[in-house]
Structure 1
């Protein structure tokens, strides 16, 4: 899934749109109308995107399968530029055509000479023809029949460790300079020591590396295997030149004698030898032209953006393709592509080949260059993601902690982070045994920027090991894996991982107060917060378990409090902190931890009152969730000075999300604060005019929360006071009753966006009927005239379980109402059809 939320390069896959049946003539049934929602005040979406509030149920997302482009190579998905390596495979094909044509003619010439000339005319050949024919046969025959062996030596020479080692050293040196301390002497000394350490490690390998093997003793570099291919190639060129010279000289003089059939036999022999040698020289010239003049390898490397290691890797790739064309069908080589080539290299036992392979995969999965269009990147990710061996190897690589293997580990972690950005690949990654533990190995908290002298002496590579960048990659992989509920469960069950993630959420006041703080430190905190947010937003029993484990960690809420208190310069971090608190507040024990941690509730209220846009909305949702069915939380909120006045003032704010959350908090305070705070809460009645006006003019969530707050405020007033409030708001009783009836007509079925709408209306209808005797108006008669009885009977046939909960974790209900909705409807019908007896209060 292409993850576009926040600054991540991450990816999400689209969800299936939920649909419902239409038509007003359908018979009454239990039906939930699913309305797509794109707005909302923050929310705790399980995918990290978060578009809906926890006060609304969210259907589980179902990924839509996309049309996949089949084929083995990298492809743009149509319309884009061809993969650059196709130029190399086409070059190998053309060379193979020339080579096989030359070899075919050489074999024909060899057979003709041995069978016809030496077999039929051996005794009559002149000494010149015999000697020249013998030289040509030996030279061309040796070339033709040893060509495959010469290619084997040349191919083997591309396995050299020298180039790969130099690339690895230079690459790591550049990264060291980027993160080096200010002292250049220390940097130079560390780099030199690191390079020596690499050489010592390489010389201790248990197996010989073929290109560096000396085939004969006491011969030095001459018979080192990587030089033999070049030597054989030079000898073949000299042989071809000699063959051309001898053939041309003999054809030019053409004094073959007058013996029957000998003259045409010799003409054909020398002609075939000349053409065969010319074809070989043409092949060599074409090779030299494309490689040395046209700079084909450098051009392709530039298009692939492979950097300094491009020539080494592409030379190896070219010889692989060319060898396949020569040894098999000429079309075998064009079936190769760099992704498959890289997958083969990462399975090698040699570090240099592993580095070349994993860096090619890193570049092709980056998706940020012109050569690697989005379609090409997707196909690369799909191809690597469906290869079990490649995935397992990449997971294995991120466990490697030796300083020599740092570059390989880094690249493998980057490739895995891209793979984890795809939902299907994320499931495959987490499905590998030990994968989560391997990702955990990237997280390292026990390090400090200035390394001690003892550490420097003990391990030269440890001082410069790039722990911060590996931490970022590890957290990024975990964040992308945590978008799936099953993966969240695996993360929570991995011993020690949750505590380590929470440790990264700590941000000191000095860091938060410094706008010039290192980006890697701030980003690590942000990624850790996103991981925790995804964990606490998980639905079902897994989410319940994770919320409890996160809340049980003694550093969780304290770290979040620090971010809320000192993170004014980093609003994104504060927003993530409030999201996490909202998620934790779904658990009763977590609520208690939050309330008992000093200053958290006060900070949330301060942010809600003073902050704007999403941050204030998130803080309001956190307060509303804390106050839900928690007398202790309500008491903590009410202890704050002027809290009720601030919440009532927020009802008049221009921001819709701000008004919604203020009304939610006030409703929960009125409903769950208890009798101890009843007297103080009575001041909420001054919000009644605003709430009544919103009821008459509002829609969707504004209407739902306004009706809900009205039912709670009415507990503090009687019928006469309510009638006075209606008149003060410019509303007559009949219009108000008709408005309630119209709301029920508009919501014939439960609506996910406003799941408590019908419950709140029914509760208000019950209160109106129970207050009829104290009020001047006869609400029972007004309700009957408005058709309320028929509406309630229709609602009785369409009640749903979704209307029985206060809040939702995905599609799982949390905090169930004390009385079912069907019981509330039955109570309203009894009052409406009876003598107006009072009903018991309904929550």
Structure 2
């Protein structure tokens, strides 16, 4: 819809959430760093080009063609420059990213430390010789002299001067690479030393790619996403760690995640590599394994277990590896330490050397990446220097310091991540089939929810995290649809300790809604089975806790709970009350509450109306004697007024529940029901709503399969307890609507409850054809001999 501001031609503002701003800022910084890399690489590439040309010119033209005509100075100058360039070229030839070793690293460290001196030497020597050639008559012209000699020498020195200038410029500019690198770290989700070092490795890799493939070609494919994926296939453990850690960070950014997830999931090689990392149980591989588990947890929703045969086994291995947990401080000590110390292009970012400190392990080229941990020489020498250092320190902390590393949480433990992966895999029915076939996996998962009350402190928090993840996984499996879902629920229910553990979790006062909610959902699913429903009812603590959670308070206390937990508890109670007189009595007899009054109040609340109506409907069906006692009777009567009012505006499942409840209340307190019908000032509108809804439900829906049955039952109640409604039903076409129902039976109406498209609770009432015949008979008999009340029906 067009906004008024846009229609008027004015400016409109579109609000951007902080996450989007952060993502855009990170993308902007990545682009800036890529341009920086391209600029540095172009300078070095151009310098190399001039160097190669100077090398060829010197060897072919000068030393080859004018060797005897050169004086001593030019001969030795050219020779030294040629050897410097040759040594540099040999070093680059030996050092390739795929062939890394310490010998090659030493060579690069010596191309790095000599690069600036060599560039300065080229500039100085070339400038001196050019000035001499221009100002002095170094080569007098005679009849035996070659007039091309001096121009040839000048061309060589100009080429050498250009090479030295470009090399020096590239080295100086590269010193400032620290700033865009740290800016990217700060504006992305990279944190701590591992984040900074991963960006450093990306910078190095991007530089090498530019030098090998060319600036233009590399610029089109250079990105953190490409780097992270390509690094996974590297033979270097350090590169793999850098790649998987960057991948994990990128997936936390919503602007990257969707496209990146699709790209990864479509690459079988990448998926297999990540899954294979889950099996790296060696101590030195714990970090790779952690990041891989976190990445797979993000991917799990789009993966298929059948496509990676070993995946389920490797994911299951995470469940029982709580001892080999990584810790972030290890990243500070050894994360990429080898790769950074002997980096691809000779850059070293050791954490405690300043830009001016040169050593055999610290090349000039690339030393700008180490400003975050420097100490400035001369600090404290005088007040001015100290003040300058303090200003620099404050500026560094504000703009370029490395964000602190987040501590490992209990959500990052291997068992929790393993169950999170399985939970997300279980959204796919085919994956559920694979999970159901895994030997003893279900039994092992249920074993995690054993709650011991003697743990305290950090172990207790860790135990709660594992229990919560296990409950979420069991909940996901329990709501699976189809035959596989039935099989999984049966296997879960056969665990001899599961019900007791669920009861213990609900009873333990140290638990919280985060743990209670999935436990309640699991109970609600199990309660759809008649045998399980009865056994759960025998565990009194479960019903007691469900009532407490559903009503939102603990007896007379003022401890209230959230809407999701209360709704889930109500659904569990409604399922437990279906067809079980014992469970209904246990619910109504729970001390400390006026249950009918509380449920009546919840029916007036839009958030709880549907679930509260379902609970009270099932209670009315099987606990009529308890509900006829004076206190409950009065509240039930006042609830009827609210129900009849809400029927006029309700739809779908809520309407089905309200109609069913009104009919059940009519059976419990018929005189109150008759009085409500007599006093209703909108009887015609109510009947019209029922007839319209019956005609609209020619095809019963699994979400509310009892809609037609509920309407027919309440039609019978209306006519039985207030015969004048028969005329209204006849006038509004109820007889024709009932005939259509009789001609269109449905298998859906054989069930009381569905899970997806699968019926899970059979209907225990009279067949629908019998109810239709009864309703039509009542209407026909009541309208055959008009009564005074029926004659006035059109005025009701």
SS at match of 1:651: helix
Q: Which residue number corresponds to residue 506 of structure 2?
A: 564
Distance 2:731 2:259 in 1: 65
Q: Which residue number corresponds to residue 783 of structure 1?
A: 729
Q: Which residue number corresponds to residue 86 of structure 1?
A: 34
Q: Which residue number corresponds to residue 816 of structure 1?
A: 762
Q: Which residue number corresponds to residue 692 of structure 2?
A: 745
Q: Which residue number corresponds to residue 165 of structure 2?
A: 282
Preserved contact between residue 691 and residue 733 of structure 2 (Cα < 8 Å): no
Q: Displacement, 1:697?
A: 0.9
Q: Which residue number corresponds to residue 539 of structure 2?
A: 597
Q: Displacement, 1:550?
A: 1.6
Per-residue CA distance 1:257-286 (angstroms, 9 max, x = gap): 324795552233222222221222222222
Distance 2:201 2:625 in 1: 83
Preserved contact between residue 667 and residue 712 of structure 1 (Cα < 8 Å): yes
Distance 2:96 2:696 in 1: 72
Distance 2:620 2:111 in 1: 88
Q: Which residue number corresponds to residue 807 of structure 1?
A: 753
The alignment's TM-score, normalised by the length of structure 2, stands at 0.71
Preserved contact between residue 711 and residue 764 of structure 1 (Cα < 8 Å): yes
Q: Which residue number corresponds to residue 444 of structure 2?
A: 500
Per-residue CA distance 1:333-389 (angstroms, 9 max, x = gap): 32322332233333333333332222222332233xxxxxx3234444444333322
Q: Which residue number corresponds to residue 709 of structure 1?
A: 661
Please say if 1:150 is aligned against 2:91. Answer: yes
SS at match of 1:399: coil
Q: Which residue number corresponds to residue 536 of structure 1?
A: 478
Distance 1:666 1:306 in 2: 53
Per-residue CA distance 1:467-505 (angstroms, 9 max, x = gap): 972233223333333333333343343333323332332
Preserved contact between residue 509 and residue 562 of structure 1 (Cα < 8 Å): no
Preserved contact between residue 397 and residue 408 of structure 1 (Cα < 8 Å): yes
Please say if 1:333 is aligned against 2:208. Answer: no
Q: Displacement, 1:661?
A: 3.5
Q: Displacement, 1:234?
A: 7.0
SS at match of 2:284: helix
Show the 5 A alignment for 1:457-468.
none
Distance 1:311 1:627 in 2: 58
Please say if 1:652 is aligned against 2:575. Answer: no
Preserved contact between residue 228 and residue 244 of structure 2 (Cα < 8 Å): yes
Q: Which residue number corresponds to residue 359 of structure 2?
A: none
Show the 5 A alignment for 1:410-489.
410-420=290-300, 423-424=301-302, 427=303, 431-444=307-320, 469-489=413-433
Distance 1:566 1:572 in 2: 13
Moved more, 806-815 or 141-150: 141-150
Distance 2:307 2:235 in 1: 25
Match of 2:707 among 738, 757, 761: 757
Match of 1:581 among 516, 523, 529: 523
Show the 5 A alignment for 1:6-17.
none
Moved more, 144-153 or 806-815: 144-153
Distance 2:324 2:50 in 1: 65
Show the 5 A alignment for 1:371-382.
374-382=254-262
Q: Calculate the aligned-residue CA RMSD, in Å.
A: 4.2
Per-residue CA distance 1:767-807 (angstroms, 9 max, x = gap): 445x3xxx674554443234322343455677765555322
Please say if 1:388 is aligned against 2:268. Answer: yes
Q: Which residue number corresponds to residue 829 of structure 1?
A: 776
Distance 2:239 2:324 in 1: 32
Q: Displacement, 1:520?
A: 3.6
Structure number having the greater helix percentage: 2
SS at match of 2:579: coil
Distance 2:131 2:91 in 1: 27
Preserved contact between residue 148 and residue 326 of structure 1 (Cα < 8 Å): no
Change (3 A) 1:832 1:725: closer
SS at match of 2:760: strand
Higher relative contact order (CA 8 A, sep 6+): 1
Moved more, 696-705 or 537-546: 696-705
Please say if 1:365 is aligned against 2:251. Answer: yes
Preserved contact between residue 627 and residue 669 of structure 1 (Cα < 8 Å): yes
Preserved contact between residue 752 and residue 763 of structure 2 (Cα < 8 Å): yes
Q: Displacement, 1:402?
A: 1.5
SS at match of 1:500: helix
Change (3 A) 1:325 1:662: closer
Distance 1:293 1:357 in 2: 24
Per-residue CA distance 1:572-628 (angstroms, 9 max, x = gap): 322222112112222334324423434222322233345354233322211111122
Change (3 A) 1:664 1:312: closer
Unpaired runs of 5+ residues, structure 2, are 1-21, 326-407, 554-559, 785-796
Preserved contact between residue 596 and residue 635 of structure 2 (Cα < 8 Å): no
Preserved contact between residue 550 and residue 570 of structure 2 (Cα < 8 Å): yes
Q: Which residue number corresponds to residue 404 of structure 2?
A: none
Q: Displacement, 1:311?
A: 6.4
The alignment's TM-score, normalised by the length of structure 1, stands at 0.68
Q: Which residue number corresponds to residue 265 of structure 1?
A: 148
Change (3 A) 1:640 1:296: closer
Show the 5 A alignment for 1:601-680.
601-611=543-553, 612=560, 613-614=562-563, 615-630=565-580, 633-634=583-584, 637=587, 646-647=595-596, 649-653=598-602, 654-656=604-606, 658=608, 660-671=610-621, 673=622, 679-680=625-626
Change (3 A) 1:282 1:319: farther
Change (3 A) 1:471 1:704: same
Moved more, 328-337 or 798-807: 798-807
Moved more, 321-330 or 399-408: 321-330
Q: Displacement, 1:543?
A: 1.6
SS at match of 2:687: helix
